[in-house]
Structure 1
Amino acid sequence: EQQQGVRNRRGEFMPSVDLFYSAQNQRDETVMYPEEYHSRGVQLTWNLFNGFGDYYRLLSQKQQHQVAQWQLKEIQQTVQEQVAQTCLLIKQQLQNLEVARHAVQLYEQERHNAQAKFDVGLLTRNDVLKIEVELENARLDVNTAQTMIRQQIAQLQRQTLTAVSLDTLNLDELSQLPQLADQQVLQEQLLTGNRELLALRHVIESATLAHKATRDRYLPRADLISEYSRSEDDYLFDEGDDRDEQVTTQLQLSLNLFDGFKDDANRKQAQLAADRAGYNYREREHELVTQLDNLRRDFVLAHDNLKVAQTNSEQASENLRITRLSFDQGLTTSAELLDAIFYQTRADLNIIEARTAIYSAYFTIQHLTGAFAQTAIQ
């Protein structure tokens, strides 16, 4: 669409060719002209000077074309982030599935042990039922994770318009944690690479050029007009007795002196549009810089949470080992054993959540800084 707009503006620099035909019927007998009269011909009009208005409008339209290009690239970055975030959710649910299956194995093992103790009278039926309840909850977690995986696979297929399966999906890139540059470097990358800001800069330039184009109304206009005409004293072509052929060429200069203050209003309106474009850019730049700063804080916080979760997982694993030994020896209750399994599962899920938060913040930062791979726009 913007390309056609540029093409339209370029047409202002080309001559205009028109065919014309006019017919008259003169009823006044006192006038020495034939009663029936027609004229036909061709007229060529070429604007030689228009106060540089056409030139600036062409440049403004070219800037609008650049705006559209950067907007398309911003859409590409958005889609790439969405695909990355979807892959991240699939990775998270796969890990959640592993944790849920491990919990099922633990509960099944402990139910078997509790059932054996119940059979010899060392545990009550209530202790066995508590473990069975948690076992069913763990199985529900497995089903939930499997359903979420299928949903995210379907979402990924919609985003990429390709057939996707777990067998063909490579998530190895999500195994090693990403690293970020410092805040100053990231901010420089944002200001130079963010597609939205780049588009807004061209909006400012386009509005500035459009404002310059309004000055053409205060300057003279020069047109070269060449016309060939043929007149006959009859409505039908080549049927009249009196024929007249004429070729004229003229240079026409015009200058508007007053137009009801419309020119001044248009110029002020264009100036306001340029000012608004500048305000929009500065406001959006401040919003993106603030968002980038908050995302980097989220990234650092997620790293800290990951360290805490890893330490907590080690402690929960040791606590589960000790509690299972004590339970086998009859020194702890089934409630304490269930708590130990829960703590282990929660610690493992906290690790997964922290890693997911790290990657989620990283992908959004990649989008803001325009760091996703560039692809060709058709």
Structure 2
Amino acid sequence: MRRIDSAAEAVLRYRRPDPSCWETVVEAVCEGSPSWDASAALVQAGRAVAGQADRIAGSLAELLRFFVPTSGHTVQVHAFALAGLGDVRALPALRQLKAHALPFGRLHAHTLAALPAAELLPVARTMLGQVPVNYHASTFMLELLALWGPAAAPAVPEVVRILETPYAYDALRVLGRIGPAAAGTADRLAAYATGRDPRTGRNHPRRAAWAHWKVTGDPALALDVCGAAVTSGSGSHGLPFLADLGPLAAAHADTVRGLMESPGGWTRVAAAHAYWRITGDPEPAVPVLLAAVDPDWDGQPALPVQEAVLRLGEIGAPAAVAAPLLRGILAAEKRLGHPFAGRRILADGLYVRTLAEALARIDP
């Protein structure tokens, strides 16, 4: 067991562990003697266990022959390991797991997003259709549907139902990502955007107005609601949506530029991104974004480090000054110190991809 624990600790803590460590983790799980950390690592493994796919699939097939609810966690570990490889051999297990309230996290949605949307949509729709709504299943599945975007269109009826629950904010995002195929929800979105819906919360109007634009193609409501948020002192709540509107939000460019000097880090980063998207001028934005990239960041979500890296990458070549810093961060051996081992590899992997993709755009 000590060998298994040491191998699991290595893959959880380091980006480039010895390949034998991953082999030990896979062996432990497939042989039915994993530690908690080994299971947590394999769920998140992704391409790191590509060479072990057949072994994992074979072990999963054996588990499914005798599937009982108490084996749900072990089946989940195998299924997510295959899903992280985009391996459709995960699908039978995921379909069987649909009735179980598993502790999915939002980051794990990125794992399933690699699988064909059409194959998993029935599972998502079933989970979202549960009464009462299950918190973990709903937030996880809404994140997954948002990642799929237009491919999630068949689930619009279930997403609309979520508008009547405490998870409406996530549902608004999904409808916006689906786009024109969700045009039938335009009136509901307008009601949330204007506050006519009695369930409208403090943060709903901006996202609802943005979603209304995405499904209808008419930017008027989004410009009105998000523009008002930016000029009212709650700029950070409207800036991401004005950034998406781009040149359509030109009337707000001066206000947005002023927010680049905000005392709040997230507001400064959001304003820098929005200003660039609105005006096409990277010169004022790049220094603000670069200043937010802390090379010693440990994954603390209160800091907009990953967001700043993402936006520098979108700017591309004009952000070349950032390339040496990003390369240095990417070369680090230790993973981000996410507080939960069950999400550490996923969180760090997403950061690594963000860094690599930003560098590819900045300095091909």
Normalised by the size of structure 1, how large is the TM-score? 0.19
* Higher-helix-fraction structure: 2
Q: Please tell me whether Structure 1 or Structure 2 has the larger radius of gyration of its CA atoms.
A: 1
Structure of higher RCO (CA pairs closer than 8 Å, 6+ residues apart): 1
